[in-house]
Each structure stands twice: as C-alpha cells, then as structure tokens.
C-alpha cells in the first residue's frame, strides 16, 4: 500500500491542504476536488488546540472510508507521535509536517505510512532523508523560489521534493523543471468563500485548473 501511495504522489503531483473546514463540508468539498482531478488530500491537525486531535482523526477516518479506492487521505501539521498513531488508526496514508522531527519520521516509517516532513536548508533536507522520509516538503518555498530549488537539487538530486507555499497554476511547470516532484496547494483550491456559499462547482473548476496546469 505504501508504495502505491508514493506512486500516486509522483503521478498526480498535487496534495491539497484542507485546514479549518467544518466537518459537514468535508465530503462535498472533497467530492468537488475529486471531480477536478485531485487524488490526494491532507487534513491538518490544529496546532493551537482549537480542534482536538481526536476530532481531526475522525474527519480523516470519515474521508478515508468515503473515498476508499478513489483518493488517498493523509494528515498535515503533524507535530506529535500521537497524531501519527491517530492517523494510522483512522485510515490515513501519509504524514506531512511543517518541520523535520526525527521521532515523527521514525514513527511514520514504523507504522507503514508515507513520510513527508518539512525542511528548507540542505542540512534539514538531508537529515529528513537520512531518517527515512519518503519525500521532503520544501517549506516555505515562496520567499526563496525556483532558483533556490535548482541550487538545492544540484547536490541533493536523490531527494524527492514537494514544494509548498506560494505555488499557483502559473508557476508549477517551472518548479517541476527545477526538480520538484509535487506540490502542496491550500487556499488557492480550498477557497473558503466558495465553501461557505456551497459553490462546490467552482471548487471543481479551481481543482481542474491546477490538475490541467501540470499536464
């Protein structure tokens, strides 16, 4: 299963980041994104505790069951080993963090999930890779940009990089040429105004704009 998830990330290239969306909106939102070609979805844990870890895991479980065989659901903003365990129990398939934490990476690998820790410097990227990360999330890449990706890729071409922060449909191909193998996309697809208005057809259009941009 883990290898299939890795292959899906490499093939589909886009992981959509869903943060702060009400539970009753999650399935129609995810359906809209699926209709636009999205096959990987990240539900974030709440770093400030405003939503309990158990509630987030319940949302992951709901989506994983609903989209079984169609879409892979994972967790984002994973900062504790407990959250890794909750995600595994909920049927999540990948773990994404904003930082490089060896304990989180090791727990993720131990439980057979795909590991995507966040890193920025060559030292962090290398540490994440050596600890067992399957991908390394370059975050936040927005202020450093494509030239930084090229510079990092020169000595670290063996590391699979996911670019997150400041990614839009107009620069994705340039980042792919620079050497990343995928992206994390948040509010550019998960438009809160459209969700509040239940305009999920427009969400599908946004998703399709992004999936078309990498073809």
Asked whether residue 143 carries a pLDDT value surpassing 90, the answer given is no
Domain of residue 118, residue span: 2-213
Q: What is the pLDDT of residues 55-103, one digit of tens each?
A: 999 999 999 999 999 999 999 999 999 999 999 999 999 999 999 999 9
pTM for the predicted model, two decimal places: 0.97
For residue 121, the surrounding DSSP H or E stretch is none
- Report DSSP state, residue 165: S
CA distance 76 to 87: 10
- Report DSSP state, residue 201: H
Q: What is the pLDDT of residues 87-100, one digit of tens each?
A: 999 999 999 999 99
CA distance 181 to 214: 11
The structure tokens 């158990």 sit at 54
Q: What is the mean predicted confidence (pLDDT) over 38-50?
A: 96
For residue 149, the domain's CATH number is 3.20.20.70
Exposed/middle/buried for residue 189 (C-beta within 10 Å: 0-12, 13-18, 19+): buried
Q: Based on the structure, what is the number of domains in the chain?
A: 1
Q: What is the pLDDT of residues 113-130, one digit of tens each?
A: 999 999 999 999 999 999
Q: What is the pLDDT of residues 149-166, one digit of tens each?
A: 999 999 999 999 999 999
Assign residue 100 a region (left: φ > 0; alpha: ψ between -120 and 50; beta: otherwise): beta
Exposed/middle/buried for residue 198 (C-beta within 10 Å: 0-12, 13-18, 19+): exposed
SS3 101: coil
Asked whether residue 189 carries a pLDDT value surpassing 90, the answer given is yes
CA atoms within 13 A on the CB side of 31: 12
First to last CA, the chain: 25
Q: What is the mean predicted confidence (pLDDT) over 133-149?
A: 95
């Amino acid at each position: 299963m883990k290898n299939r998830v890795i292959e899906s990330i490499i093939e589909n290239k886009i992981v959509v980041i869903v943060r702060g969306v009400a539970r009753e909106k999650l399935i129609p939102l995810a359906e809209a994104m699926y209709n636009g070609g999205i096959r990987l979805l990240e539900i974030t844990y709440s770093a400030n505790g405003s939503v309990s870890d158990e509630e987030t895991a319940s949302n992951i479980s709901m989506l994983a069951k609903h989209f079984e065989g169609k879409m892979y659901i994972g967790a984002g903003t994973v900062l504790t080993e407990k959250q890794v365990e909750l995600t595994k129990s909920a049927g999540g398939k990948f773990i994404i963090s904003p930082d490089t934490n060896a304990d989180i990476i090791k727990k993720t690998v131990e439980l057979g999930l795909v590991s995507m820790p966040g890193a920025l410097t060559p030292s962090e990227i290398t540490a994440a890779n050596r600890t067992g990360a399957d991908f390394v999330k370059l975050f936040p890449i927005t202020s450093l940009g494509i030239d930084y990706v090229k510079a990092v890729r020169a000595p670290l071409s063996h590391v699979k990089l996911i670019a997150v922060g400041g990614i839009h449909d107009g620069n994705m191909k340039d980042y792919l040429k620079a050497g990343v193998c995928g992206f994390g996309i948040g509010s550019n697809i998960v438009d809160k105004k459209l969700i509040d208005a239940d305009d999920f057809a427009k969400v599908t259009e946004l998703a399709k704009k992004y999936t078309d941009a990498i073809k």
